[in-house]
Amino acid sequence: MLEALRGLATAALLAAATVYFLAWRFGESRRLAHIYSLGFSDPVLSYWSAFLMQIDSKRYIQKQWERVPPGTKWYVLPFGTEEFQALTRASDDIVSSTEAVNEYLHARHTLRNDIIGDGIQVPLINTELTRSLGELVPEVNEEALAALDEMFPLEGNEWKSFLVSPALLQIFAKVANRVLVGLPLCRDASYIKTNVDFAVNVIVMSFVLCATPPPLRDLVDRLVSPIPKKFERIRGYLQPIIDARRAEKEKLGAEYEPHPDMLSWLIDLAEQHGRDDRDIILRMMSTNFGVIHTASMNFQHAFYSLLSMPQYMEELRAEVVQCIDEHGWSKTAVDNMKLMDGFIKESQRLNIIGIIIGNRIATKDCTLAGVFIPKGTMLTANVVEAHNSRDFWGSTVDEFDPYRYIRMEKETGKKLGIVTTSANSLSFGLGRHSCPGRFFAAQELKLLMAHLLLDYEMKFDKKEQSRPKDVWFGMSCMPNPNTRVLLRKRVKAYVPHRRRS
């Protein structure tokens, strides 16, 4: 009898949740009825459109103002430069990027933004990290060499095949954590693996929760999420270091010299704002997620582009050698690698990691570029249109041209490097909420590419030289994870760079 009552109660709860969700979905559809709908606008049939979008999302992005059904919520895409600029100019009290992250990444569950959603760590990235880029080059350079040697072990003059996607993910995690937590933890294989797994878990759980009706998300999160266990594992690594640094500071007093890494900055930040150690660890995990996933995907795209267009390798190598000969391994040398900068940025333009970027949620009813936007609407930028606009890029829009930005800088007198964002270059976002870590990411991307060019010969592990087909999952794109690359040490490798700093 008791089991029957429990079953009845569960069925009633699910039925109530379903009715509530359909009523909410119907209401949202009616509020956005004035905006063109891709696929069905019916609150039930729109799920079929959402399914089709998971299969071929690029086909959907085509109208002036449109709403698309990627999951359980409509996304509204302002199509065109003027419309998107209206979105980025809108104040934070009208459209919120924080609430958008909570929505599309389900960050209250995946990144615990219910605790750390205030973003007080972002100024650290804008100030401390960016200001320290010059001082960090020797450390990033050293870690890049160590990580490449570890992940791509080579002897003699033989070619060796590597599955590069997981290797590059590990390399970026190691290099980033040299700056985030320092030695020796950045070389701890278990710690690095846990952070890489956590980044993957966040992406997977965001998809799972996106497909789950809102009333059931807390339950699904508690039942299936692996993230709480990842937090406990990472806390096991970070807590002893946090305790040791506090003890060292107390012992040395005025003679204490802070460690030049993100963890020390977060410890100081927690003291200033009265936060506990759990807060520090969650912010470190969130930062790790941001720097590992995005940088690795962008680099893989650029790496595959380079392998599919080997005619650019010698020009890029020559530029790296010239910059290092003149400036050593320094920020100045990295900044002067203009062709490499243009190559990576052109790869970002043509090989996107997602169809949308710059997400905002309307926190109140508003009008943008003449279109009424109801409160609660998710607004986002159309990267496909921005990066492939013939009106802006001209007749060569479909061509890969690494010299494009060098020419444009000469013509316009404006800086158009990889870290420069605009309405037609959205890889790092646009406006006040552009990626705060893009300056470090650009330095990291260029340093790793420089070392691969100087120390390795490389080609796809197959006869054809065409770029492997990307893998699309909904509105996200990733370089083909099954691609194998042949590497061998260069016979005429540039040796002095390993000694200079």
- pLDDT tens-digit profile of 394-443? 999 999 999 999 999 999 999 999 999 988 899 998 878 888 999 999 99
- 376: tokens are 């609660």
pLDDT score recorded for residue 32: 53
Domains of the chain: 2-498 (1.10.630.10)
Query: Which whole number is the average pLDDT over 186-206?
Result: 94
Residue 7 pLDDT level (bands cut at 50, 70, 90): low
Residue 22 pLDDT level (bands cut at 50, 70, 90): very low
Given a cut of 50, is residue 19 above it in pLDDT?
A: no
Given a cut of 60, is residue 17 above it in pLDDT?
A: no
Given a cut of 60, is residue 496 above it in pLDDT?
A: no
378-382 and 75-78: which strand pairing? parallel
Q: How far is CA 180 from the centre of its chain?
A: 16
- pLDDT tens-digit profile of 25-69? 444 545 555 454 455 455 554 554 555 555 555 555 554 444 444
Decide: helix, strand or coil at residue 161: strand
What is the SS3 assignment for 347-411? Answer: HHHHCCCECEEEEEEECCCEEECCEEECCCCEEEEEHHHHHCCHHHHHHHCCCCCCCHHHHHHHH
CB 162 within 8 A of CB 191: no
Rounded Cα distance, 423 and 84, in Å = 7
pLDDT score recorded for residue 280: 96
Rounded Cα distance, 173 and 187, in Å = 9
Rounded Cα distance, 295 and 481, in Å = 15
Residue 480 pLDDT level (bands cut at 50, 70, 90): very high
List Cβ neighbours of 392 (8 Å cut-off, separation of 6 or more). Answer: 81, 424
Given a cut of 80, is residue 81 above it in pLDDT?
A: no
pLDDT score recorded for residue 48: 47
- 266: tokens are 């977060």
Q: Give kind and range of the element (H or E) at residue 21.
A: helix 2-31
Point out the least confidently predicted range of 15-24, 26-35, 266-275, 377-386.
15-24
Q: Give kind and range of the element (H or E) at residue 456.
A: strand 456-460
Please say whether the dihedral angle defined by the alpha carbons of residues 45, 69, 98 and 192, taken in this order, is positive or negative: positive
Percent of the chain with pLDDT over 90: 52
Given a cut of 70, is residue 493 above it in pLDDT?
A: no
Q: Give residue 358's region: left, alpha or beta (phi > 0; psi -120 to 50).
A: left
Query: Which whole number is the average pLDDT over 86-99?
Result: 85
Please provide the average confidence, as pLDDT, over all residues in the chain. Answer: 84
- 457: tokens are 């010969």
Residue 339 pLDDT level (bands cut at 50, 70, 90): very high
pLDDT score recorded for residue 383: 86
Point out the least confidently predicted range of 44-53, 91-100, 150-159, 354-363.
44-53
Residue 435, marked binder: yes
List Cβ neighbours of 441 (8 Å cut-off, separation of 6 or more). Answer: 291, 294, 295, 298, 428, 435
Query: Which whole number is the average pLDDT over 485-495?
Result: 80
Nearest to 430 by CA among 415, 419, 442, 417: 419
Point out the least confidently predicted range of 286-300, 318-332, 447-461.
286-300
Given a cut of 50, is residue 13 above it in pLDDT?
A: no
- pLDDT tens-digit profile of 295-336? 999 999 999 999 999 999 999 999 999 999 999 999 999 999
Given a cut of 80, is residue 241 above it in pLDDT?
A: yes
Rounded Cα distance, 41 and 51, in Å = 14
65-68 and 36-37: which strand pairing? parallel
pLDDT score recorded for residue 64: 45
